[in-house]
């Protein structure tokens, strides 16, 4: 480390660094959840359908998931503060255009595209800056907890804040709030410290970026299409430019599109492996996928966000479509989950000092699964309001417990030189989970519509996914991340790859 870099780190004001980073993570998570309670109001105002708004929400998180890895690499090339500021500017522009939208086209361009691109540029620097600025491991873990808590709070408070603004003013006010918050973050970020690089900037792997983005895009697009065409037998003709590719009653095009995504992702992994063998700089290093602990940690991240966003979506649609609740009523009904996340996230740092990260993730999924089972058991089309409270509260408590722990497990599995890459990969996985949650639940709601049991079937699916997350947590090596630690006890950081 150079003398200049060491001096930059020691002269840091923690509040000046953490506040804008936590607010940026909050607003990105808020944008992913606040739309759920306003689906009906927005659809009616811009002359579209609930299905159109579901597509818009899914495309937002999909754009983030697809571009988070390239955005992380650009952070290493262009600089963390530079990407953070430009990401905020693009995000704010998108929110402003969405505020003005009169149709679905501008809504998708502003919200799904520009806000998604902006998030992909501004979120990776959040986790990288905390890693490189705070060298003390306990301090670093503490601020990871703050940022992860902001992510959970944004997702949980989004329905309540969005519902209040939509009911009191308009759904457009929610986008106006995002513009104001982004402007405030830009003001705060003037004092943001970005320690100078201690090594040459890497080259950008354009082909790898294209392959990774396209692969994830087609996989989630295929899942999203299941709501229109069905999972196995196509419910309508699948056409391209007016030509029928797969007829109604034949194989669903869902698997064709998912298969295309899987092939592209396989090409991506072949490409990065080939680039490393030739001594070139890949978009991601293969060693990032060789840590069992990190892989399981990213799996739990994906399931956490899938469960959280999927549950919010199914409850919001159920309340608005079946009980005809307005936005504020829907947001208030989701308040128990918000309270749960706030309570457990506030104690996350203290719990992390006393319990291993694996224990916290297992406990979090256990509580979350219990909450989902209670929702499934208690909620009926005509059941009392209290039937939602136990399940949503426990789900929020469980998610709040494990959000910080999963981030710590993944980030701590690698040395500082890999923090840029693993930050982008980790955030991509989390946003992919959010996108899959909305897409899967949306498709289940449509497919189950004829049976009249959409809520029960969707809630049962969330229980299954929560159980999968619990299994992944149980499979983590015991003692892998000890209480109060930021470095795995059993699995050391991978050694740097030596290039000729």
Which tens digit of pLDDT belongs to each residue from 39-92?
778 888 888 887 788 778 878 877 887 888 888 888 878 888 889 999 999 999
Above 50 in pLDDT, residue 380? yes
What is the per-residue pLDDT for 426? Answer: 81
Same domain for 278 and 296, yes or no, is no
Q: How high does pLDDT run on average in the chain?
A: 80
Q: State whether 186 and 234 are in the same domain.
A: no
Whether 174 and 212 map to the same domain: the answer is: no
- Listed in sequence order, the residues at least 6 apart from 94 whose beta carbon sits closer than 8 Å to its beta carbon are 109, 110, 111, 113, 114, 115, 116, 117, 118
Give the pLDDT of residue 452. Answer: 52
Choice between 1 and 253, residue whose per-residue pLDDT is larger: 253
Separation CA 37–CA 325 (nearest Å): 9
Residues in the chain: 500
pLDDT of residue 4: 47
Predicted local confidence at residue 211, as pLDDT: 92
Let me know: does 86 contact 121? Beta carbons within 8 Å. Answer: yes
pLDDT given at position 446: 61
Residue 1 lies in a domain: no
Residue 490 has pLDDT above 50, yes or no: no
Identify whether 270 is part of a domain.
Answer: yes
- Cα separation of 160 and 177, whole Å? 14
> Looking at the domain assignment, is residue 2 inside a domain?
no
Query: Residue 329 pLDDT > 90, yes or no?
Result: no
Task: Name the pLDDT band for 496 (thresholds 50, 70, 90).
Answer: very low
Query: 121 or 426: whose pLDDT is higher?
Result: 121
Phi, psi of 246 (to 5 degrees): -130, 120
The answer as to whether 492 is a domain residue is no
Q: Are residues 326 and 443 in the same domain?
A: yes
Looking at the predicted structure, is the pLDDT value of residue 6 above 50? no
CA atoms of 279 and 277, how far apart (whole Å): 5
For 214, the domain range is 206-282
The percentage of the chain sitting over the pLDDT mark of 70, rounded to a whole number, equals 86
Single pTM value for the model = 0.75
pLDDT at position 136, please? Answer: 67
Q: Are residues 50 and 139 in the same domain?
A: yes
* Arithmetic mean of pLDDT, 459-482: 84
CA atoms of 415 and 363, how far apart (whole Å) = 27
Backbone dihedral region for residue 324 (phi beyond 0: left; psi -120 to 50: alpha; all else: beta): left
pLDDT digits 0-9 by tens, 259-277: 999 999 999 999 999 988 8
Per-residue pLDDT, 500: 32
Q: Which residues of 401-437 are buried (b: 16+ CB within 10 A; e: fewer)?
A: bbbbbbbbbbbbbbeeebbbbbbbbbbbbbbbbbbbb
Structure-token match 């722990």, residue found: 405
Same domain membership, residue 134 and residue 111: yes
Instruction: Identify the CATH number of the domain in which residue 299 sits.
Output: 1.20.1250.20
Q: Tell me if 403 sits within 8 A of 151, measured CB to CB.
A: yes
Q: What is the pLDDT of residues 303-314, one digit of tens each?
A: 998 888 888 888
pLDDT at 489 over 50: no
Q: Per the domain annotation, does 487 fall within a domain?
A: no
CA 53 → CA 161, 262, 434, distances in Å? 19, 26, 15
Q: Report the candidate in 432, 412, 426 with the shortest Cα–Cα distance to residue 492.
A: 412
Q: Could you report the per-residue pLDDT of 115-151, keeping only the tens digit for each? A: 999 998 988 888 778 877 776 666 766 777 778 778 7
CB half-sphere exposure, 26, CA atoms < 13 A: 21
Looking at residues 242-251, what average pLDDT do you find?
81
Sequence-distant (≥ 6) Cβ neighbours of residue 404 within 8 angstroms: 144, 145, 148, 149, 345, 348, 349, 352
Do 41 and 138 reside in the same domain of the chain?
yes
- CA 459, distance to chain mean position in Å, is 20
- Sign, Cα dihedral of 354, 359, 365, 369: negative
Say yes or no: 88 and 167 in one domain. Answer: yes
Domain boundary among 257, 282, 307: 282
Q: Does residue 496 belong to any structural domain of this protein?
A: no
Angle at 210 between CA 204 and CA 212, to 5 degrees: 100
* Residue 464: other Cβ atoms inside 10 A: 10
Q: Do residues 292 and 273 both lie within one domain?
A: no
Least confident of 11-20, 200-209, 476-485: 476-485
Q: What is the Cα–Cα distance from 207 to 439, expressed in whole angstroms?
A: 27
Lowest mean per-residue pLDDT among 65-69, 247-251, 343-347: 343-347
The residue that leads in pLDDT, 483 or 118, is 118
Residue 67 in any domain: the answer is yes
Number of domain units in the chain = 2
Could you tell me how far CA 207 lies from the centroid of its own chain? 24
Q: Which residues pair with 244 in a beta bridge?
A: 239
149 lies in some domain: yes
Q: Are residues 49 and 164 in the same domain?
A: yes
Q: What is the mean pLDDT of residues 333-362?
A: 79
pLDDT value at residue 230: 75
pLDDT of 62: 76
Backbone angles phi, psi at 152, to 5 degrees: -65, -40
Residue 147 and residue 248 share a domain: no
Asked if residue 431 and residue 298 are part of one domain, the reply reads yes
């Amino acid at each position: 480390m150079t003398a200049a870099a060491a001096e930059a780190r020691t002269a840091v004001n923690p509040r000046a660094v953490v506040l804008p980073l936590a607010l940026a993570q909050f607003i990105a998570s808020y944008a992913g959840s606040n739309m759920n309670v306003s689906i009906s109001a927005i659809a009616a105002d811009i002359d579209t359908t609930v299905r159109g708004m579901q597509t818009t929400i899914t495309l937002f998180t999909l754009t983030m998931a697809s571009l988070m890895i390239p955005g992380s690499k650009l952070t290493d090339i262009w600089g963390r503060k530079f990407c953070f500021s430009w990401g905020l500017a693009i995000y704010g522009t998108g929110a402003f255009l969405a505020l003005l939208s009169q149709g679905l086209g501008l809504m998708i361009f502003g919200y799904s595209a520009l806000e998604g691109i902006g998030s992909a540029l501004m979120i990776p620097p959040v986790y990288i800056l905390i890693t490189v600025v705070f060298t003390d491991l306990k301090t670093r873990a503490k601020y990871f907890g703050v940022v992860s808590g902001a992510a959970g709070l944004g997702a949980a408070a989004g329905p309540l804040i969005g519902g209040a603004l939509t009911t009191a003013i308009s759904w457009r006010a929610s986008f106006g709030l995002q513009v104001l918050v982004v402007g405030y973050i830009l003001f705060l970020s003037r004092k943001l410290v970005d320690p100078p690089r201690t090594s040459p900037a890497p080259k950008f792997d354009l082909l790898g970026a294209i392959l990774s983005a396209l692969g994830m895009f087609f996989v989630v697009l295929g899942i999203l299409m299941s709501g229109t065409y069905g999972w196995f037998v196509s419910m309508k003709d699948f056409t391209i430019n007016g030509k029928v590719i797969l007829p109604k009653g034949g194989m669903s095009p869902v698997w064709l599109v998912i298969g295309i995504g899987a092939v592209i992702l396989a090409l991506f992994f072949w490409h990065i492996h080939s680039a490393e063998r030739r001594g070139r700089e890949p978009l991601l290093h293969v060693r990032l996928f060789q840590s069992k602990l990190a892989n399981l940690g990213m799996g739990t991240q994906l399931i956490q966000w899938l469960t959280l966003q999927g549950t919010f979506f199914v409850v919001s649609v159920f309340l608005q479509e079946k009980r005809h609740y307005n936005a504020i009523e829907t947001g208030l009904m989701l308040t128990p989950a918000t309270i749960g996340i706030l309570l457990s996230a506030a104690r996350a740092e203290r719990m992390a000092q006393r319990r291993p990260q694996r224990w916290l993730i297992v406990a979090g999924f256990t509580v979350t699964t219990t909450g989902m089972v209670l929702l499934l058991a208690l909620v009926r089309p005509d059941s009392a309001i209290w039937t939602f409270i136990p399940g949503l509260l426990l789900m929020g408590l469980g998610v709040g417990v494990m959000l910080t722990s999963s981030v710590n497990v993944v980030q701590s599995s690698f040395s500082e030189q890999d923090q840029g890459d693993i930050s982008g990969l980790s955030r991509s996985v989390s946003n992919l989970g959010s996108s899959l949650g909305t897409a899967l639940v949306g498709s289940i709601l449509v497919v189950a519509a004829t049976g009249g049991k959409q809520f029960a079937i969707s809630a049962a699916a969330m229980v299954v996914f929560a159980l999968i997350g619990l299994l992944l947590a149980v499979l983590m090596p015991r003692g892998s991340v000890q209480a109060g630690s930021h470095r795995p006890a059993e699995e050391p950081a991978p050694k740097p790859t030596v290039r000729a």
